Amino acid sequence: MTYLKSLIKQIFPKQADEENEGEEILLREQIVHSKVFLNDYAKWKEQQMHKGLLAHLFENATVKSMNPEADVNYFAYRDEQSNGFYFHSESPWTQLDYAFFVEHLIQLLKKHGYVLKHSRREVSEGDQLKTNEQFYLKPSIKYRKEKPYQQLYGNIIIEHRLIDNQTNLVKLMAQVYQGRAYQTPDSFEELMDIIFQS
């Protein structure tokens, strides 16, 4: 349950119950990609299909940074403990393009010192069929050999949400630690540069 949903449930318990009524969890599972998916992803990367999507995101991010009120499909979040971005699906990209894009982000992070700790898919059905895929990455154990620990860009959660089997949203969030046990995190803007240039 998200913080907002938890808060609504505390303040308006009847309303929260009514909103969730009729929504049933159909599936919770670890995400394990098939060989077919990985082979198709490799072909997608080889054909540099990710470049168009990244160029579009970069253009939207640039417009948004120059004018936070701009009506573009890119949303950034920045504060002391969390940094991230999300965007909604757009034509001409398909659900598979977005699934491959998420895999591209995961592989990119692995090259920069991260390990995939766990992944989960949850499918629920109410008025719509909702699928939520989450991938949780942490810095490799080699960065935790001595204090203060290196935290790179923080712990990273990548989320891929689908409605009726079509991508609705892709989100990446980096959560950092404060305190003497951890070194200052690397700049999130540096990570964004790595993503846009990949």
In terms of Cβ atoms closer than 10 Å to its own Cβ (0-12, 13-18, 19+), residue 67 is exposed
Residue with tokens 């409605």: 163
| Rounded to 5°, angle at Cα 27 from 13 and 114 | 100
Question: How large is the C-alpha radius of gyration of the chain?
Answer: 18
Summarised one tens digit per residue, pLDDT across range 51-97 is 999 999 999 999 999 999 999 999 999 998 999 999 999 999 999 99
Please tell me the pTM assigned to this model.
0.87
Mean pLDDT across the stretch 121-146? 95
Structure tokens at 135: 């991938």
Q: Tell me the H-state helices in 112-182.
A: none
Q: 128 pLDDT band (50/70/90 cuts)? A: very high
How far is Cα 66 from Cα 159, in angstroms, rounded to an integer? 26
